[in-house]
């Protein structure tokens, strides 16, 4: 039995050597000769085994050193940290944790305060924006009002300018020439279509003559008032077909006549003729005033001397046309006075 065991152990050794030889052949095929258990292979195997053994010893020493270091560290920690130190360290950690918790609470409170401040600032910003919009709206409204007032002032200035221009134009308009139309081209002269004068072949009623005289009186009074002329001794009172003239003694004379015998006896022919003479005197004073103030485009003197006229135009168309021609000259002079203002 002992011999068999020895043989078995030898076979196992040989098998292991063969495995090592194959391993060596796999690791270094250039050094293997292919013959198992030759001296060279045995030496190589031995060297490889020696190297592995050294590596195992080195690794073992490293592990022992590491274990020793760990054991030394545990022994040092056990030696340094006592229960009191541990409690103090734990208390310090708890205090630090409490401080950290307090810091977190303070940070949360500060964050809440910052949120409140942010909300307040946002509300203040919204209020400022609303106030700014209201101010802008007020400024826009004020600007619109200013523009409206400026436009209104401009329109008013334009209206005033237009009115002034129209007023100047109207002031240059000769209204009297349109109101009092004098015609001396016909056989009998007329004023506003009313004939002033008679011919043996042309019969003119007293009503028409009286109306024409009333228009003459009205024209003379109007021209005198416009130019500030005051007659020296007479006052003309226009009253249509029944106009009168007053003396300085306030005695009235009629400027109208009648073909009726009764009326002729009542008023008397002398009173009517005296009234006509006073009217001619007033016309002469007006022509004298106009001749003293000549105007361009107007003859210096009336076409007929007024002092040469008399009341004969009631029975003579020629005398009536002369009187109307002198009045037409005064009207032309008046128109030039207005145009040259």
d(CA 341, CA 328): 21
What's the rounded Cα separation, in Å, for the pair 315 and 204? 10
pLDDT at 22: 63
Helices (H), the chain: 2-27, 39-80, 83-172, 175-179, 206-226, 261-267, 269-291, 317-339
pLDDT at position 238 is 93
Q: Quick one: residue 95, left, alpha or beta (phi over 0 = left, psi -120 to 50 = alpha)? A: alpha
Q: Are 195 and 209 in contact (CB under 8 A)?
A: yes
**Residue 206 token pair:** 């007293």
Helix (H) or strand (E) holding 182: strand 182-183
pLDDT at 245: 94
Q: What is the structure's pLDDT at 257?
A: 83
Q: For helices 317-339 and 206-226, what crossing angle results, to 10°?
A: 30
Instruction: Tell me the β-bridge partners of 103.
Output: none
Cα 275 to chain center, whole Å?
71
For the question of whether the overall pTM of this predicted structure is more than 0.75, the answer is: no
Task: Give the pLDDT of residue 262.
Answer: 39
pLDDT in tens, the chain (341 residues): 555 556 666 666 666 666 666 665 565 555 555 555 566 766 777 777 788 888 888 888 888 888 888 777 655 555 555 778 888 888 888 898 899 898 899 999 999 999 999 999 999 999 999 999 999 999 999 999 999 999 999 999 999 999 998 888 777 777 888 888 999 888 888 999 999 888 878 888 889 999 999 999 999 999 999 999 999 999 999 998 999 999 988 899 998 887 654 334 333 457 888 888 899 999 999 999 999 999 888 898 999 887 776 655 566 788 888 899 999 999 999 988 877 76
Q: Cα separation of 334 and 226, whole Å?
A: 9
Whose CA is closest to 275, among 307, 224, 237?
Answer: 237
CA–CA separation, 279 and 69 (whole Å): 159
* d(C-alpha 71, C-alpha 77), whole Å: 10
Distance CA 320, CA 190 (A): 8
Classify burial at 206, counting beta carbons within 10 Å of its beta carbon; exposed 0-12, middle 13-18, buried 19 or more.
middle
DSSP bridge pairs for 195: 190
Q: What are the angstrom distances between the C-alpha of 274 and each of 211, 249, 269, 307?
A: 18, 14, 9, 14
For the sheet with 234-237, list strands across it.
234-237, 244-247, 252-254
Q: Distance between CA atoms of 225 and 157, rounded to whole angstroms?
A: 33
CB neighbourhood size of 30 (10 A):
5
What is the spatial distance between Cα 187 and Cα 197, in angstroms, rounded to a whole number? Answer: 10
């Amino acid at each position: 039995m002992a011999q068999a065991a020895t043989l078995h152990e030898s076979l196992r050794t040989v098998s292991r050597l063969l495995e090592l030889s194959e391993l060596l052949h796999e690791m270094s095929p250039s050094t293997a000769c292919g013959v198992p258990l030759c001296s060279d292979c045995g030496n190589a195997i031995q060297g490889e085994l020696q190297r592995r053994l050294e590596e195992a010893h080195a690794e073992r020493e490293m592990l022992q050193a590491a274990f020793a270091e760990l054991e030394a560290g545990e022994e040092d920690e056990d030696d340094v940290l006592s229960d009191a130190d541990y409690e103090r360290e734990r208390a310090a950690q708890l205090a630090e944790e409490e401080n950290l918790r307090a810091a977190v609470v303070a940070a949360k409170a500060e964050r809440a305060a910052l949120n409140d401040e942010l909300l307040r600032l946002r509300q203040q910003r919204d209020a400022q924006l609303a106030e700014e919009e209201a101010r802008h709206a007020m400024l826009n409204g004020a600007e619109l009002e200013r523009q409206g007032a400026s436009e209104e002032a401009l329109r008013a200035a334009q209206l005033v300018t237009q009115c002034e221009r129209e007023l100047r134009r109207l002031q240059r308009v000769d209204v009297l020439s349109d109101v009092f139309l004098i015609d001396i081209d016909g056989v009998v002269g007329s004023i506003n279509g009313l004939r002033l004068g008679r011919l043996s072949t042309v019969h003119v009623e007293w009503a028409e003559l009286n109306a024409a005289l009333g228009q003459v009186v009205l024209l003379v009074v109007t021209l005198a008032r416009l130019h500030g002329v005051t007659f020296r001794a007479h006052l003309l009172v226009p009253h249509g077909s029944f106009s009168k003239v007053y003396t300085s003694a306030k005695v009235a004379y009629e400027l109208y006549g009648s073909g009726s015998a009764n009326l002729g006896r009542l008023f008397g022919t002398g009173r009517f003729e005296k009234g006509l003479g006073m009217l001619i005197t007033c016309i002469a004073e007006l022509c004298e005033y106009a001749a003293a103030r000549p105007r361009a485009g107007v003859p210096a003197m009336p076409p007929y001397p007024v002092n040469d006229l008399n009341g004969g135009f009631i029975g003579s168309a020629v005398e009536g046309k002369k009187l109307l021609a002198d009045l037409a000259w005064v009207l032309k002079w008046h128109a030039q006075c207005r145009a040259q203002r």
